[in-house]
Amino acid sequence: MSAGPVESMPAPPPVLPLLRAMVGVGLLCGLLISSAFVTTRPAIERNRAEALQSAIFEVLPSAATSQTFTWSEDGGFALLVEGARVEGPVVHVGYDAAGAIAGVAIEAAGMGYQDIIRVLFGFDPERAAIVGMRVLESRETPGLGDRIETDANFRANFEALDVSLSADGASLANPIEATKQGNKEHPWQIDGITGATISARAIANILRASSQLWVPRISAHIGELEGRSSTDGE
C-alpha cells in the first residue's frame, strides 16, 4: 500500500524584509519623538520660567523686581547675567520699588509620601523669617497630601516662620520642626495637617535642610546682594 503525497510545510517568510521594516518603524518613531521634543522644548522652558517668576513674587509679596544670583564654591554670590550658563546653586533676590532687598526666594526639594516635592520659599533677612512658600512640583495623594498646597491653615505657617541664626551666625538657633496639628507652640514650628502628616513633615524637613544651608550664607554675604535691582544700568 503506497503512502499518499506528503504535504510540504510553507516556507518561512524572509527575515531580512521584516527586520528592515522594524528598524524603519523604530527610526521613524524616534525621529518623531525627537522632533516633538525639540519643537516643544522652548515653549516648555518659557512656561517654566514664567511659572517660577510668578512664584518668586508670590513668596516675596513686597518685591517689585528680581534678579538671580549664583553661589560659587569659593564662597560668595555673583549676579547671573541673562543667557549665561548656570554653574552652581542659585537664589532669586527680590527688590522693592525703592531698590531695597525685599527678600530672597530659594528653591528646595526633598522626598514626600509619593515622590520628590519641589518648593520655593521666601526668606526675609531683616525679619529673619520665611515669609512665603509655594509648591512647584508634587505628586502627593489628591485630597490628602496635596493639601500642603491648598490648606489655608497650613500655608499660614509660612507667613512668619522663624529662622533666626545662632549667636555665631553659623546655623539656625532653632531648626524648623513639624508638630501635630494644633500643637504648635513656637514660631519655628510648622503646624501639621491631620490626614497628611507625612507630606506636612516632608515640607518641614525640606525647609529645615535648605534654610540651615542658605540662611547663614545669605546673612553673611548680604552686601553682595544689595542694590542690584533690575533697573540698574538701564
Q: What is the pLDDT of residue 11?
A: 67
pLDDT digits (tens, 9 = 90+) for 72-114: 878 899 999 877 777 778 999 999 999 999 999 999 999 999 8
* Closest among 159, 160, 154 to 178, alpha carbons compared: 154
**Cα–Cα distance for residue pair 62/52, rounded to 1 Å:** 16
For residue 154, give the 3-state DSSP assignment. helix
pLDDT digits (tens, 9 = 90+) for 35-65: 766 676 666 666 677 888 999 999 999 999 9
Q: What is the pLDDT of residue 16?
A: 77
Q: Do 30 and 48 contact (CB within 8 A), yes or no?
A: no
pLDDT digits (tens, 9 = 90+) for 177-222: 999 999 999 999 999 999 999 999 999 999 999 999 999 999 999 9
% helix / strand / coil in the chain, to the nearest 5? Answer: 35, 25, 40
What φ, ψ does residue 93 adopt, rounded to 5°? -95, 125
**Cα–Cα distance for residue pair 134/198, rounded to 1 Å:** 18
Q: Which three cell numbers stand for residue 93?
A: 533676590
- Residue spans of the domains in the chain: they are 47-224
Q: Which three cell numbers stand for residue 228?
A: 542690584
What φ, ψ does residue 32 adopt, rounded to 5°? -65, -45
pLDDT digits (tens, 9 = 90+) for 211-229: 999 999 999 999 999 865 4
Location of C-alpha cell 546655623: 171
CA angle, residues 88, 89, 92, in degrees to nearest 5 = 130
Location of C-alpha cell 542659585: 90
